Structure formats: structure tokens, C-alpha cells
């Protein structure tokens, strides 16, 4: 029986990835193929490379049109590329009202305008196979100078840099979904600050800066949070990693929400936070901060195992499990 969240990597490899890789069809124009932890695929169309990625929004019920576009664009940015357009599939439960679809599309259009991309089409349907609204996006992007960064491009000895804060997206979702209940734990100002973290969901600017710096791998910290994203970069690159847990930036509002809801912010969905593998990570942090982007060096890639350094102790870094978002309750 599966738990809610991503399929465990071992099962994903056995049932999904291995059969795909063993398919007899291998086109020469496909230059980046699926891999556990890899967010994008790429096709050579004769000019710039075409980058593709897709993801649904399932952990939220509010602002899902806005979230779907922003989060999927981040996968394109993580490849060092530029998003161009998005296709949306919207599935609504029976008896949904027009206002719901209007709110979803208003949010999607606003996010597309912020990212300077077009909504290219998609599909809308009312179906009894869903019990709440579901939106899935497929984003199409193009490379800069035919260069692609993959999640698996990290090298031993490089620094791990993260931008913004742990639990960025999760904080915004929980503060919106559980607004009334959280008023017992946060002031109105704190709650507003937490909800406004949805304004930090794009990683477009840090992608440009890290790409120019010479980063070799980038990964948007989605399900599994900061620790899950770092694990995926290391695993995808065939490396070990030391994570400096005490160096991971986190907002006080996130800490308060997670404490109230009994979850760990290090495992909370963190879209808007980019995990970057690069040489001279401290210099990259300076460049990011000069552009108003919070950033910190939070680890080092190694040839050994995957570990967390906490209070002077060296603890194993486990593979990501179900996101903390699904365990949140008041």
C-alpha cells in the first residue's frame, strides 16, 4: 500500500523508470531522458533545445491555478532554461461552480503574466473520479545557448547552496488553508507574512545568476522539502553529501506553523527554494544576496555517504518520504 506523496524511489525505478528505459524506441533527438530526481526532459529540435516538464497540484485546494504555473516553471528554470508556454489540464468534481474554475484560471493567468509565458491550451473536465479540484501543468521551455543543467550534474567537492527559506511553498499553503485555526498561534501580521510567501515561489532570477556563475546542477525543492531535494541531487549525481542543518535558513512564521501543526519544516514542500551545486558557493551566495535573494551554503557534496551534521553529530540523511504537508493538522 502506497503512502500519500511521491512513489518511493525503489518502486519508481522498478515499475516506472526501468520499463521506460528498456523501451525499444530511443529517438536521436531526445537528449535528456527521465531519471529519478530529474525534473525535465529535453529534445533537440535543430535550434535551441526544447525543455519539458509536468506536475500536478494535489496538496492544496486554494490558489492552485497560480501554484501550478509557478511550480512547473521552476523545473524549467532548474535546467538553466527559460519557460515559454504552459498547457493546463483541469479536473473538477461534480457540482463544481463557475466561480471555482474562474478563480483557478485567474490565478494561472496571473502567474503566466508574471513569468512572461503563454497558456497554450489544455483540457477542462468535470469528472466523478476526483473529489477535489486537480490541475496539472506541462511547461515547455528553451535553453540558453544549447546548454542544459541536470539534477545529476553535481560534482564531489562542490558546495550546496540554497535560496530563500525552508518550507517556502508549504508555509504559504498552510497559512492559507488553515487560516482560522492558525490565528491561535500567529499574530495577524505573522499570518499575513506567511501567506505572502507565495510571492517568492519563482526561482527564475536565481536560475540566471547560478547559471552565469557556473553551477552544474540545480533542483527546485518540491515534495520532501529541503532535505529531500538535497538527497535527490546527491542521489541523481551518484554522490554523497554532508548537510549543515543548522545553516538552513527558515522564517520564524514557518517555525511557528510547523510547531503548531506537529511537522518538520525540513521535510515541508519548499518550491521557490533552489538547491544549487556549484564551486565557490560562498561567492555565489554573495551574488544572490546582491540581487536581493536570500541564500546560504548548507552543505558539501562528497564521494562518501549521505549525512546530516546536527549539533556536532553526524546522522544519516534518509531518502525523502511523504511530504510533511500531508501530516499537518491542528
Residues whose CB falls within 8 Å of the CB of residue 291, separated by 6 or more in sequence, listed in order: 205, 209
From the list 293, 286, 152, 279, the residue with the least C-alpha distance to 215 is 279
For 198, list phi and psi in degrees, rounded to 5: -65, -15
Residue scoring higher pLDDT (244 or 222): 244
> What is the pairing mode between strands 306-310 and 240-244?
parallel
From the list 130, 104, 132, the residue with the least C-alpha distance to 119 is 104
Residue 195 — very low, low, confident or very high, per pLDDT cuts 50/70/90?
Answer: very high
Residue 183 — very low, low, confident or very high, per pLDDT cuts 50/70/90?
Answer: very high
Residue 45 buriedness (CB in 10 A; 0-12 / 13-18 / 19+): exposed
pLDDT at 321 over 90: no
pLDDT at 1 over 80: no
pLDDT at 37 over 80: no
Determine the pLDDT at residue 150: 87
Q: What grid cell was written down for 115?
A: 513569468
Per residue in 227-250, pLDDT (tens digit) is 999 999 999 999 999 999 999 999
Task: Please answer whether residues 210 and 144 qualify as being in contact, where contact means their C-beta atoms are separated by less than 8 angstroms.
Answer: no
3-state secondary structure the chain: CCCCCCCCHHHHHHHHHHHHHCCCCCCCCEEECCCCCCCCEEEECCCCEEEEEEEEECCCCCCHHHHHHHHHHHHHHHCCCEEEEEEEEEEECCCCCHHHHHHHHHHHHHHHHHHCCEEEEEEEEECCCCCCCEEEEEEEEECECCECCCHHHCCCCCEEEEECCCCHHHHHHHHHHCHHHHCCCCCHHHHHHHHHHHHHCCCHHHHHHHHHHCCCEEEECCCCHHHHHHHHHHHHHCCEEEEEHHHCCCCHHHHHHHHHHCCCHHHCCCCCCEEEEECCHHHHHHHHHHCCCCEEEEEEEECCCEEEEECCEEEECCCCCCCHHHHCCC
Q: What grid cell was written down for 173?
A: 499553503
Residue 167 — very low, low, confident or very high, per pLDDT cuts 50/70/90?
Answer: very high
Round to the nearest angstrom and report the end-to-end CA distance of the chain: 26
**33-42, 149-158, 208-217, range with the lowest pLDDT:** 33-42
Residue scoring higher pLDDT (10 or 127): 127
pLDDT at 214 over 90: yes
Whole-number mean pLDDT of the chain? 93
CA angle (81, 84, 87) in 5-degree steps = 120
Per residue in 111-143, pLDDT (tens digit) is 999 999 999 999 999 999 999 999 999 999 999
Per residue in 264-301, pLDDT (tens digit) is 999 999 999 999 999 999 999 999 999 999 999 999 99
Cα–Cα distance between 206 and 74 in angstroms, integer?
Answer: 10
Task: Please answer whether residues 73 and 139 qualify as being in contact, where contact means their C-beta atoms are separated by less than 8 angstroms.
Answer: yes
Residues whose CB falls within 8 Å of the CB of residue 1, separated by 6 or more in sequence, listed in order: none
Amino acid at each position: 500500500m502506497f503512502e500519500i506523496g511521491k512513489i518511493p524511489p525503489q518502486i519508481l525505478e522498478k515499475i516506472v523508470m526501468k520499463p521506460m528505459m528498456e523501451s525499444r524506441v530511443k529517438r536521436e533527438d531526445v537528449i535528456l531522458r527521465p531519471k529519478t530526481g530529474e525534473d525535465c526532459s529535453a529534445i533537440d529540435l535543430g535550434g535551441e533545445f526544447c525543455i519539458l516538464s509536468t506536475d500536478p497540484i494535489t496538496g492544496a485546494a486554494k490558489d492552485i491555478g497560480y501554484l501550478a504555473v509557478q511550480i512547473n516553471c521552476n523545473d524549467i528554470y532548474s535546467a538553466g532554461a527559460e519557460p515559454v508556454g504552459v498547457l493546463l489540464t483541469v479536473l473538477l468534481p461534480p457540482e463544481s461552480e463557475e466561480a471555482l474554475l474562474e478563480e483557478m484560471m485567474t490565478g494561472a493567468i496571473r502567474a503566466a503574466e508574471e513569468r512572461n509565458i503563454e497558456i497554450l491550451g489544455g483540457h477542462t473536465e468535470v469528472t466523478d473520479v476526483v473529489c477535489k479540484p486537480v490541475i496539472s501543468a506541462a511547461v515547455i521551455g528553451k535553453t540558453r545557448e544549447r546548454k542544459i543543467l541536470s539534477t545529476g550534474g553535481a560534482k564531489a567537492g562542490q558546495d550546496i547552496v540554497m535560496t530563500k527559506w525552508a518550507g517556502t511553498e508549504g508555509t504559504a499553503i498552510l497559512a492559507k488553508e488553515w487560516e482560522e485555526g492558525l490565528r491561535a498561534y500567529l499574530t495577524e501580521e505573522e499570518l499575513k507574512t506567511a501567506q505572502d510567501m507565495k510571492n517568492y515561489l519563482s526561482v527564475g532570477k536565481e536560475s540566471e545568476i547560478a547559471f552565469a556563475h557556473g553551477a552544474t546542477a540545480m533542483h527546485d525543492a518540491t515534495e520532501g522539502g529541503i532535505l529531500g531535494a538535497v538527497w535527490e541531487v546527491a542521489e541523481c549525481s551518484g554522490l554523497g553529501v554532508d548537510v549543515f542543518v543548522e545553516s538552513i535558513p527558515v522564517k520564524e512564521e514557518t517555525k511557528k506553523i510547523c510547531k503548531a501543526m506537529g511537522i518538520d519544516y525540513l521535510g515541508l514542500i519548499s518550491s521557490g527554494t533552489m538547491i544549487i551545486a556549484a564551486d565557490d558557493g560562498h561567492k555565489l551566495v554573495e551574488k544572490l544576496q546582491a540581487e536581493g535573494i536570500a541564500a546560504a551554503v548548507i552543505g558539501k557534496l562528497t564521494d562518501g555517504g549521505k549525512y546530516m551534521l546536527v549539533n556536532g553529530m553526524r546522522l544519516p540523511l534518509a531518502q525523502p518520504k511523504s511530504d510533511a504537508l500531508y501530516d499537518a493538522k491542528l
